[in-house]
Amino acid sequence: MDILRFITAGSVDNGKSTLIGRLLYDTKNILADQMNAIEKASKSRNNGEIDLALLTDGLRSEREQGITIDVAYKYFQTANRKFISIDAPGHLQYTRNMVTGASNADLAIILVDARLGVIEQTKRHSLIAGMLKIPYVIVAINKMDLVDFSEDTFLKIAADYRELADKLKIENLKIIPVSALNGDNIVDKSPSMPWYQGETLLSVLETADVHRGAAEQGARFPVQFVLRPQTSELHDYRGYAGRLISGKLRKGDRISALPSGSSSVIAGIEVYGKEVDEIVVPQSATILLEDDIDISRGDILTAGTDQPVPTQDVKSLICWMDDRKELKPGNKYLLQHGTSRVRCSVKQIDYRIDINSYVQEEGVEALRLNDVASVLLRTAQPIAFDPYSHNRANGGAILIDETSNVTVGACMLEEV
Ligand SMILES: Nc1nc2c(ncn2[C@@H]2O[C@H](COP(=O)(O)OP(=O)(O)OP(=O)(O)O)[C@@H](O)[C@H]2O)c(=O)[nH]1
């Protein structure tokens, strides 16, 4: 069954936890013992009314103690699809978690409080969703019960949002009026909003076509390990293990190994020890080649006509995620792209994007937490990437602080 990964984003208290709880509850994905625990906890805290946000609260308390995770995952399924929900906390300083969670999301649900409409945080999350090219965006206008299920309020917010979406070139967009608390338009159509003729949230989640194109792109296979058994009968065996991040590979295909550019032909493909003729994204496999060429971890096997040209000059949109240190020209980092890690230095900051107007500001000297900017990097070795706008999987990268080993930036690479 096909899997949809979606992220929920919105300001504090917009109702993300309640919305996910409602989805799980109405799709019967809550186990009986979980339900008992929630009922008990609700009784003591909420005058007996069931508080669906408690479903994700276990994860939240961990987060408040600052011990485990900053992005929480939940798994559920319906008859039509499996889902992985990625919860990014709404506080401003957590924008970076949205970036981390969203970089491989198929769809984003952006929550808007019907009483507040489009606010700065909505704009920030939408900018990131647009930048990360999340294929599909649902704007859930929540707490409709608190604005008397007013159609006018909905239309006004929807019009404001559409203006934003046009600027950000968000293409697949659905705007849905909901009440997460009561379950209106989440799984079932709302009897309180007969004026809304569109789909429910679950129906969009089940049918959104988000996988288009990934298999039609050029093949990209970052090498994770080189397998070279020491036994004498396998002494010629040399396999390259990894995961195909875009396109297809077939036995007999001519491939290039980048960044060196050496070329060979696929002699065999193994998946879990069995020979297969073809793999498609996102399968993991071991590739065998006809020629013994020099390939190591971090290299990428590519096929197809539109090949990346390895380069050391890299332009990138960066979302800066370090709350302690600024990004400045001259600073050095590690750039992790696929399975390769190379040193790089910051050449210059071209411009920063203003969150409210989306205007490009020039002459910026440093980036602070949550800044989004276009930056020029110079890497110590060439890397073979595709522009993020053509290939999300091979166009994304992260910046790592060498001394602390912390991820400090999310990068969307562009051609210089
Ligand atoms: N009236 C009404 N209240 C809602 C609705 N959805 C959520 N709430 C309430 O809003 C409050 C915040 O909801 P949460 O689900 O905890 O919000 P959140 O976005 O997950 O909050 P953070 O995780 O802290 O960012 C709770 O008191 C909910 O009961 C709704 O549709 N209608």
ipTM of the complex: 0.96
Give the Cα separation of 24 and 43 in Å (integer): 20
pLDDT at residue 64 in the model: 42
- Please tell me the predicted confidence (pLDDT) of residue 212: 60
Instruction: Determine whether 215 is exposed, middle or buried from the number of CB atoms within 10 Å of its CB (0-12, 13-18, 19+).
Output: middle
- Chain centre to alpha carbon of residue 354: 22
Residue 340 domain boundaries: 311-414
Judge if 273 and 392 occupy the same domain: no
Of 348, 339, 333, residue with least CA distance to 301: 339
Query: Measured from the CB, is residue 85 less than 6 Å from ligand 1?
Result: no
Q: Among 303, 331, 359, which residue terminates a domain?
A: 303
Residues 42 and 167 in one domain: yes
Render 264-333 in DSSP notation, one character per residue.
EEEEEEEETTEEESEEETT-EEEEEESS-----TT-EEEESSSPPPPEEEEEEEEEE--SSS-B-TT-EE
Residues (pLDDT < 70) of the chain are 1, 30-72, 88-103, 211-214, 231-235
Residues 90 and 160 in one domain: yes
Hey, which of 8, 14, 17, 18 would you mutate to test ligand 1's pocket, going by the most ligand atoms within 8 Å of its Cβ? Answer: 18
The answer to the question of residue 88 being in a domain is yes
Residue nearest ligand 1's atom 11 by CA: 13
- Domain of 391, CATH number, reads 2.40.30.10
CATH code for position 148: 3.40.50.300
16 Cα: distance to centroid of ligand 1 (angstroms):
6
- Ligand 1 atom 2 nearest Cα: 143
- Tell me: do 101 and 161 sit in the same domain: yes
Give the angle subtended at the CA of 76 by the CAs of 176 and 59, to the nearest 5°. Answer: 90
**197 inside domain:** yes
Q: Return the residue matching tokens 């899997």.
A: 3
Residue 249 maps to a domain: yes
Residue 56 tokens, joined: 């994700």
| Cα–Cα distance, 112 to 261 (Å, whole number) | 49
86 & 232 share domain = no
Question: Ligand 1 in contact with 181 (CB < 6 A)?
Answer: yes
Helices (H), 77-194: 95-102, 120-131, 151-167
Region label for 89, one of left (φ > 0), alpha (ψ between -120 and 50) or beta (otherwise): beta
- Number of the ligand 1 atom closest to the C-alpha atom of 60: 23
Please report whether residue 171 resides in a domain.
Answer: yes
> Does 235 lie in the same domain as 122?
no
pLDDT tens by residue, 183-197: 999 999 999 999 999
The values of phi and psi at residue 25, to 5°, are: -65, -50
Q: Are residues 122 and 140 in the same domain?
A: yes
Ligand 1 site, residue 143, Cβ cutoff 6 A: yes
Question: Is-contact 29 77, C-beta < 8 A?
Answer: yes
**HSE value, Cβ hemisphere, 13 Å, CA-based, for 414:** 12
Closest protein CA for atom 32 of ligand 1: 143
Note whether residue 212 is domain-resident. Answer: no
> Does residue 203 sit in the same domain as residue 233?
no
* pLDDT for res 2: 77
Asked whether residue 213 is assigned to any structural domain, the reply reads: no
Residue that terminates a domain, selected from 176, 207, 238: 207
Atom of ligand 1 nearest to the CA of 142: 31
- The CA 209 to ligand 1 mean position distance, Å, reads 29
Residue 327 and residue 375 in contact, taking contact as beta carbons nearer than 8 Å: yes
Q: Write out the two tokens for 170.
A: 């968000």
Q: Which helix (H) or strand (E) is 226 found in, with range?
A: strand 219-227
| Cis status of the peptide bond prior to 259, with omega within 30 of 0 | yes
- Tell me the best of 17, 95, 116, 176 to mutate to test the pocket of ligand 1, counting ligand atoms within 8 Å of each CB and taking the most: 17
Same domain, 288 and 342: no
> Is the minimum distance from the CB of 53 to ligand 1 under 6 angstroms?
yes
At 7 the pLDDT is 86
Q: Indicate which atom in ligand 1 lies nearest the CA of residue 144.
A: 31
Q: How many domains does the chain have?
A: 3
E strands present in 78-205: 82-87, 107-113, 136-142, 173-177
In a domain, 73, yes or no: yes
Distances (CA, A) of 222 to 12, 46, 257, 341: 38, 51, 9, 12
- Atom in ligand 1 nearest the alpha carbon of residue 87: 23
Of 168, 187, 207, which residue is a domain's last? 207
Half-sphere exposure in the Cβ direction for 202 (13 Å, CA):
26
Give yes or no: residues 60 and 102 share one domain: yes
The closest residue, in CA terms, to atom 22 on ligand 1 is 12
Q: How much is the pTM?
A: 0.75
Tell me the three state secondary structure of residue 254: strand
User: What backbone phi and psi angles, to 5 degrees, belong to 120?
Assistant: -55, -40
Taking the CB of residue 159, how many other CB atoms lie within 10 A of it?
11
Q: Interior CA angle at 11 toward 6 and 15, to 5°?
A: 70
Same-domain status, 53 and 171: yes
Q: What is the Å distance from ligand 1's center to 14 Cα? A: 5
| Pocket probe mutation, ligand 1, options 181, 184, 187, 193, max atoms within 8 Å of Cβ | 181
Distance 247 CA to ligand 1 centre (A): 41
Are both 132 and 271 inside the same structural domain?
A: no
Q: Determine, yes or no, domain membership for 214.
A: no
Distances (CA, A) of 152 to 71, 155, 156: 35, 5, 6
The confidence score (pLDDT) of residue 56 equals 53
